[in-house]
């Protein structure tokens, strides 16, 4: 009868001596995006041009604020609006001269990044590994089973509410051949991304709906208002 033996090692015991340097970089958002979020929370609906955005439940409000704060939003007909490329332009300028791996969260954010970075950005791993191009991947699908060790830094344009996905994404950068790995998180002070980050990193929890309501003073009975 065959018996299976499992041996457990820490990274240090296995000779994997590396550190991850998580760094926050603050950028200024556009005031109109803040106004959109405030109006939506107060009235449950806003019109942006000819597009109507609704948030008649707390869950929808959480998702819409998350979208808007990072420059996109999906209207009630399923159309995606690119509201601002402020964060992509900031990343391009701040990290100039570095080869980047960028994680975004919503698919529309890829279009914003591509419009700013142009041909210097790819979503193909092989092209990233064999050229000097940056890579941008969706956090949901890009956080497992790949290596981004060719990057000088991993930059989070946006990230979701999951602690597990957050940790998996960071691990894509680390390599035994590099002692220090730089991971940057770009968001505005007081934004939902800062609240998500604080919950995931310091409390090591998912950013659940109750945390969102508390952070943004959303009434408990919001859905019934």
Residue 56: pLDDT above 90? yes
More confident residue, 5 or 167: 167
Nearest to 106 by CA among 157, 169, 32, 143: 157
Q: What ranges do the domains of the chain cover?
A: 19-224
The pLDDT score that the predictor gives to residue 98 is 97
The fold of the 19-224 domain, in CATH, is: Rossmann fold (3.40.50)
More confident residue, 184 or 178: 184
pTM of the model as a whole: 0.87
User: What percentage of residues in the chain have a pLDDT greater than 90?
Assistant: 74
Count the neighbouring beta carbons within 10 Å of the beta carbon of residue 175: 14
Q: How far apart are CA 184 and CA 50, in angstroms?
A: 36
- Measured CA angle at 33 (ends 85, 52), to 5 deg: 100
The pLDDT score that the predictor gives to residue 4 is 44
Pair 73, 53: CB distance under 8 Å: yes
Please give the backbone phi and psi of residue 51, each rounded to the nearest 5 degrees, phi first.
-110, 135
The mean predicted confidence, pLDDT, of the chain is 88
Pair 113, 120: CB distance under 8 Å: no
The pLDDT score that the predictor gives to residue 17 is 58
């Amino acid at each position: 009868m065959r018996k299976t033996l499992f041996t457990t090692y820490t990274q240090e015991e296995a000779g994997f001596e590396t550190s991850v340097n998580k760094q926050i970089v603050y950028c200024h958002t556009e005031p109109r995006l803040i106004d959109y979020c405030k109006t939506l929370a107060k009235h449950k609906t806003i019109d942006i041009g000819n597009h109507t955005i609704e948030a008649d439940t707390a869950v929808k409000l959480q998702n819409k604020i998350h979208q808007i704060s990072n420059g996109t939003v999906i209207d009630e007909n399923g159309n995606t609006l690119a509201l601002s490329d402020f964060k992509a332009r900031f990343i391009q300028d701040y990290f100039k001269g570095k080869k980047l791996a960028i994680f975004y969260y919503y698919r529309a954010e890829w279009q914003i990044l591509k419009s700013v970075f142009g041909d210097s950005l790819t979503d193909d791993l092989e092209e990233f590994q064999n050229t000097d191009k940056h890579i941008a991947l969706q956090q949901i699908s890009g956080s497992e089973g790949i290596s981004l060790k060719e990057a000088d830094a991993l930059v989070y344009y946006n990230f979701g509410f999951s602690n597990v996905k957050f940790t998996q994404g960071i691990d894509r950068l680390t390599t035994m051949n590099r002692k220090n790995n730089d991971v940057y998180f770009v968001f505005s002070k007081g934004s939902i991304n800062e609240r998500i980050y604080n919950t995931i990193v310091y409390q090591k929890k998912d950013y659940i709906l109750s945390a969102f309501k508390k952070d943004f003073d959303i009434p408990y009975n919001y859905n019934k208002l």
